[in-house]
A = this chain, B = another copy of it.
């Protein structure tokens, strides 16, 4: 830890709050380990007891994090921060831990418990409703969750300038502002819609057979592991496993686990899924281990987290240079049709743009339209401008107007994502924030690493990873997303770099 704090703060008190936060992190990561196990290999019937174990650990975390002595010490420490650089490790630790404490203590234990139960039931109801392709089964649980989330937001709404939605968004994106998101998304939307329309009218459409395979799952596994190792995911401090809903989880400073899924008939699923999760994983591996469990050793926000996954998946993984390096090896590993695909073909195939119904399968250009729809709808739901009963129609109308296609049923429409059923409201915009930030960061990296494209064409990724470590990872939560992007690129979060990046790549590929 750095020395800056000793002169200005009560060192013993600072160390004590750090110890408390680290104790909570030990229990928190233990719970995450149990959840990782649940989503990989836990026996079929073990779910009920596993839920008890996880709940007991999460309660213990909550108990530690809402202890009033801990809160008092944080308040005292924060009052003495005046002369410290607000981005210093010490000031950030105190400020962010205090912010978390204040959020946690404002939530009545009853509400926390009711919400936990409602979201478990919500996910189960969502699952059943999706299988039955029927929103009506999900209507009541969702209404209950929305009611509770509004209550939660009201508890958190200390400052009446903040909207209810912002109070929820804050959980995932510290400092996030609804109005600013709305403006940025509008600026992004217009050029994207124009670009997508031009692409649809182009007569230069990609041949997708090289992505459709089929390729054996075993050879795809070997390829994914190879690519993750090549870009710098450290397998001595992590694992790559398989699951039905890919994710990344941190079980300790040296234990970062990524999970993906493979599809015989869609190479992109496993390969870009692995790149995406490895991007998340390398962010976690790049955080400072000596600050593990404390804000300087934690990710800045979900938006910044997503920027790291999207940067490796898209800016790197869907670049021509990346395939210049990978194609010969991947062709050897997977065989035909990839083996006889040429560089231009594969580059176009992995950048195919097609308006589609399902967010997680969307291409880079249409993806953000999916997010903007969800953002608008969830704001309306929380603020009471839209009723739950009106949601499916509102959803379908927006898909028709924004993407030109209409869901065939609720399963590929309003029921496609688990988030709302899990109580994750205010989470969706972090996906688009991630896309914006990834483009901004990559633009800066390209300016600062002069031969970056050449390096990638040779399969050399270490300079880029090191740049990300120095400019993003090592700062942990000392910055929020906007100030981080500003520190790196000289401007706040903006739509321009993403639009420029997509236009320059896609107009070229589609001959626009």
Where the two chains meet, the residues of A that have a C-beta atom closer than 8 Å to any C-beta of B are: 23, 26-27, 29-30, 33-34, 37, 41-46, 48-50, 52-53, 56-57, 60, 235-239, 251-257, 292
Contact = CB atoms under 8 A, between A and B. Distances in A.
- Copy number of this protein in the oligomer? 2
A236 B229 CA distance: 34
Secondary structure at the A interface, as helix, strand, loop or mixed, is helix
Contacts of A237: 43-46
Given A23-B56, A56-B26, A239 B49 contact: no
Nearest to A40: B41
13 contacts: A27-B57, A29-B53, A30-B56, A33-B34, A37-B37, A41-B239, A43-B238, A43-B239, A43-B256, A46-B252, A46-B254, A49-B253, A49-B254
Contacts of A239: 41, 43
A255 B29 CA distance: 21
Given A33-B37, A43-B254, 7 more contacts: A26-B52, A33-B53, A43-B255, A45-B237, A45-B255, A46-B237, A49-B252
A35 to B, nearest CB: 11
Contact of A255 (B30, B50, B238, B254): B50
Contacts of A252: 46, 49-50, 53
A41 B255 CA distance: 11
Contacts of A57: 27, 30
Contacts of A23: 56
A251 to B, nearest CB: 7
A221 to B, nearest CB: 15
Given A41-B239, A43-B237, A44-B236, A255 B60 contact: no
A366 B188 CA distance: 78
Contacts of A56: 23, 26-27, 30
Nearest to A30: B53
A44 B29 CA distance: 17
B26 A53 contact: yes
Contact of A251 (B46, B255, B257): B46
Contacts of A236: 43-45
A394 to B, nearest CB: 42
A26 B251 CA distance: 19
A376 to B, nearest CB: 41
A32 to B, nearest CB: 10
A32 B253 CA distance: 20
Nearest to A57: B30
A79 to B, nearest CB: 31
A23 B57 CA distance: 11
A487 to B, nearest CB: 30
Contacts of A235: 43
Contacts of A256: 43
A257 B41 CA distance: 11
Nearest to A252: B49
A253 B52 CA distance: 12
A499 B239 CA distance: 50
Given A33-B37, A34-B30, A254 B53 contact: no
A315 B45 CA distance: 30
A238 B238 CA distance: 25
A59 to B, nearest CB: 10
A50 B43 CA distance: 23
A93 to B, nearest CB: 19
A427 B37 CA distance: 31
A464 B237 CA distance: 46
A213 B26 CA distance: 47
A257 B50 CA distance: 14
Nearest to A41: B239
Contacts of A46: 237, 251-252, 254-255
B52 A255 contact: no
A274 to B, nearest CB: 17
Contacts of A257: 43
In this complex, the member of A33, A50, A255 whose beta carbon has the largest number of chain B beta carbons within 10 angstroms is: A255
Nearest to A293: B49
A49 B253 CA distance: 7
A61 to B, nearest CB: 11
A397 to B, nearest CB: 45
A48 B26 CA distance: 12
B41 A254 contact: no
